[in-house]
């Protein structure tokens, strides 16, 4: 068994709560390093809860530590959600929805158990975006320093404003008004995704399961960088496994994918969760999704790229062709997000700024900090 297959297969097994047979202490060391790099070590720790004392002490120590890390993140997102409810609901009478890792954790679904995330993702109405940003700035949420080009990129072309950082706690907040960049021409009518959203006991709002899963698939296959691709595919595996036991869920998921034009992303998510995680997808649904897959020659290329970039990227895994696959995924990610003329302009602007930084230093493109942290104007 090659190193790639061996450690990926072992990691998938650990994530399902099973310990591979004949696993050495050195294998444990490697697997823990790979799992931590892929941001799934706390998920492994929770999956192996019942194994307890049968694990070597070295592994137990790391797994216990990983669980403390995940608990800290869960407490943090609960605290921030309570704060946002206090800050925003006093004046803002429309819904605020949580997305991705924050939504999984707040809702308590299986994908939220041991989920690691670096920021909190929030979806709000585009019409109220400016007021919300101004309101958040009163409570010390400020844009992180970036240059004027990045600021323009976010505000004119992207589906979110520049990331905000709390000046005291350091928490990062991404405020979205859509799920894919507006400039792509593929941004959906957002009410199609928020229809059927749920209110949790803590008062936070999250998307309905079918919308949550479709967004997870869209986010994964619209990315340019796949360092966390394995974790994100693991999210989808857990979500499909938890919610896919009801036919009504599959019907709603396929209707939403058809209506919003994200059938390809759903078909790819089903294809690669089945391939890498052996996710229990009903054969009829898997067959139905194939109408959205590309032509055979194009699918061969997709398989070559995604079966590599969706593996753990740690160097111990030795994924052959990973550098080229990452580059192809990077090009595809930009290609589907931007029209050609914008992509060329964006590439030229990025190249020029990188050259300028190389010649004049990293601070050359930084805007005035006072301007950067000023509340948005009317």
Q: Counting runs of H as helices and runs of E as strands, what totals does the chain give?
A: 17, 7
Contact (CB, 8 A) for 250 and 209? no
Give CA–CA dist 339/35, Å, rounded: 37
pLDDT in tens, 318-367: 888 999 999 999 999 999 988 888 888 878 877 777 777 777 766 655 55
Residue 370 — very low, low, confident or very high, per pLDDT cuts 50/70/90? very low
Q: What is the topology classification, in CATH, of domain 3-358?
A: Beta Polymerase; domain 2 (3.30.460)
The pLDDT assigned to 378 comes to 40
Q: pLDDT tens for residues 273-325?
A: 999 999 999 999 999 999 999 999 999 999 999 999 999 999 888 888 999 99
d(CA 223, CA 215) in angstroms, rounded, equals 12
Q: C-alpha distances in angstroms, 332 versus 21, 123, 292, 337?
A: 39, 25, 17, 9
pTM of the prediction? Answer: 0.90
Q: Domain segments of the chain: what residues?
A: 3-358
């Amino acid at each position: 068994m090659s190193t790639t297959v061996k450690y990926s297969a072992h990691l998938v097994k650990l994530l399902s709560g099973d310990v591979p047979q004949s696993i050495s202490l050195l294998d444990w060391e490697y697997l823990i390093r790979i799992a931590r790099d892929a941001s799934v070590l706390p998920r492994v720790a929770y999956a192996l809860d019942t194994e307890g004392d049968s694990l070597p002490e070295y592994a137990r120590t790391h797994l216990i530590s990983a669980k403390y890390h995940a608990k800290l993140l869960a407490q943090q997102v609960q605290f921030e959600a309570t704060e946002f409810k206090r800050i925003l609901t006093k004046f803002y009478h429309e819904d605020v929805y949580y997305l991705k890792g924050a939504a999984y954790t707040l809702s308590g679904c299986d994908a939220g158990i041991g989920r690691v995330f670096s920021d909190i993702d929030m979806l709000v109405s585009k019409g109220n975006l400016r007021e919300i940003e101004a309101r958040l700035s009163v409570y010390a949420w400020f844009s992180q320093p970036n240059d004027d080009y990045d600021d323009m990129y976010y505000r004119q072309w992207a589906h979110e404003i520049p990331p905000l950082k709390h000046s005291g706690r350091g928490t990062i907040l991404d405020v979205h008004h859509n799920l894919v960049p507006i400039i792509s021409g593929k941004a959906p009518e957002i009410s199609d995704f928020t229809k059927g959203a749920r209110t949790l006991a803590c008062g936070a709002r999250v998307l309905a399961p079918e919308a949550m899963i479709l967004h997870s698939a869209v986010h994964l296959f619209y990315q340019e960088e796949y360092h966390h691709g394995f974790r994100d595919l693991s999210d989808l595996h857990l979500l499909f496994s938890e919610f896919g036991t009801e036919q009504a869920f599959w019907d709603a998921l396929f209707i939403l994918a058809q209506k919003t034009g994200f059938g390809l992303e759903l078909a790819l998510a089903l294809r690669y969760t089945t391939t890498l995680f052996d996710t229990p997808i009903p054969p009829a649904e898997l067959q139905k999704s194939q109408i959205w897959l590309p032509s055979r020659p194009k699918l061969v290329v997709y398989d070559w790229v995604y079966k590599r970039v969706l593996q753990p990227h740690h160097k111990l895994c030795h994924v052959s062709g990973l550098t080229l696959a990452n580059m192809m995924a990077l090009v595809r990610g930009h290609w589907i997000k931007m029209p050609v003329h914008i992509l060329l302009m964006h590439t030229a602007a990025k190249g020029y700024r990188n050259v300028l930084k190389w010649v004049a230093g990293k601070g050359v493109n930084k805007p005035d900090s006072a301007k950067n942290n000023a509340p948005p104007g009317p």
